[in-house]
Amino acid sequence: MGARVTTVLAAVDATAAARPVLQTACRLAHALDADVMALHVGEDPGPARAVAEELGTSLITVSGEPADQIVRIGERPDVALVVVALSGVPARHEPGQTAQAVATRLSKPVLVVPPDSPPRRTFTRVLFPLDGTRGVSAALRPLITTYVAAGFDVIALHVFRPDTVPRFLDSAEDIDVWRAEFLTEHCTDLGIRLATRPGPTADSLLDVAASEDVDVIAMGWRQDFSPHHALVVRKVLTEADRPVALIPLTDESWPRRSVTQTFRDPDVP
């Protein structure tokens, strides 16, 4: 069983985005039996104070550069994950500077909330893409275990590329055998479901997320938003109408050669 999640940190600004961030943090914390703490960096938290009072959540304010302070407090041992808004305004294209800075520097999962979509009412189902390598599976296993222990319906997704589809998958029985072997090798004893799809990766992720109505898309990534990197992450963040958890993968968990490269965009050179 995974370690108990103790605190969910909601990083809020002084915009209307504070409400969906705090609502999401509270509902996820309830599902994980965790506490919630709201953090605002600056002098006036604006509507965040009223929302925090409405939700019965403690709110602390600190001064300094927002990303620096969010990362500093987010690295406290009691904080399990940090919730941030995709951007501070409804019109969104990719994470704002603060969200990007936090996601690329924090050693813990960052849950990115689309402020222009209604917050999920409950959190019961999560989608994890797995690329079929031991390193990535091992890196994500503790978090998967935590969600399973909390009673979540956990779905793993494996996306095939044209050059990685096993040649023997000619029938439904073959696919069932392959799925059983995949789960045994990468998710043994976790009791999760496995879905398989052809690429493109981002499209398949979004399709499964919608068809299964998952509450969170949880993606492992290398914490790199530089040009031509994180293309799948960017597209999922841009188009998903639900929270996306970005889970840092260390160099040790990222294989030199990946079977399917789920977390990189196989469709872009």
Question: How do residues 159-171 score in pLDDT, each as one tens digit?
Answer: 876 555 555 555 5
| pLDDT score of 90 more than 80 | no
- CB-CB contact of 108 with 135 (8 Å): no
Least confident range of 13-22, 38-47, 129-138: 129-138
- pTM recorded for the entire structure: 0.83
Q: What percent of the chain has pLDDT over 70?
A: 74
pLDDT, mean of residues 137-154: 84
| pLDDT score of 129 more than 50 | yes
User: Which CATH number do you get for residue 104?
Assistant: 3.40.50.620
* Neighbour tally for 103: CB within 10 Å: 25
Residue with tokens 């997320």: 209
Q: Are 156 and 46 contained in the same domain?
A: no
Give the per-residue pLDDT at 267. 35
Q: What percent of the chain has pLDDT over 90?
A: 54
Give the per-residue pLDDT at 4. 57
Q: Are 146 and 212 contained in the same domain?
A: yes
Name which residue leads in pLDDT, 182 or 92: 182
Is residue 118 a part of any domain in this protein?
no
Give the per-residue pLDDT at 139. 73
Q: Are 83 and 191 contained in the same domain?
A: no
Is residue 262 a part of any domain in this protein?
no
Q: Are 158 and 219 contained in the same domain?
A: yes
| pLDDT score of 261 more than 80 | no
Q: Are 91 and 135 contained in the same domain?
A: no
Is residue 37 a part of any domain in this protein?
yes
How does pLDDT run across 192-228, given as a tens digit for each residue?
A: 888 888 878 899 999 999 999 999 999 989 999 888 8
Q: Which distant-in-sequence residues (6+ apart) come within 8 Å of 126 by Cβ?
A: 147, 152, 153, 154, 155, 214, 215, 216, 217, 218, 245
pLDDT, mean of residues 117-128: 93
With b meaning 16 or more CB within 10 Å and e meaning fewer, what string describes 119-133?
Answer: bbeebbbbbbbbbbb
Give the per-residue pLDDT at 5. 67
Alpha-carbon gap, residue 140 to 145, rounded angstroms: 9
pLDDT, mean of residues 243-257: 69
pLDDT band at 265 (very low <50, low <70, confident <90, very high): very low
Residue with tokens 């929270």: 243
Measured on CA atoms in the order 204, 205, 210, 212, is the torsion positive or negative? positive
Query: Domain span at residue 89?
Result: 7-113
Our count of domains for the chain comes to 2
Q: Are 45 and 146 contained in the same domain?
A: no
Boundary residue ending a domain (113, 141, 173): 113
Give the per-residue pLDDT at 140. 78
Q: Are 204 and 164 contained in the same domain?
A: yes
Give the per-residue pLDDT at 143. 84
pLDDT, mean of residues 88-100: 64
* Neighbour tally for 60: CB within 10 Å: 13
Measured on CA atoms in the order 119, 245, 230, 160, is the torsion positive or negative? negative
Boundary residue ending a domain (113, 135, 170): 113
Is residue 75 a part of any domain in this protein?
yes
| pLDDT score of 1 more than 70 | no
pLDDT band at 51 (very low <50, low <70, confident <90, very high): very high
Give the per-residue pLDDT at 158. 84
Give the per-residue pLDDT at 256. 36
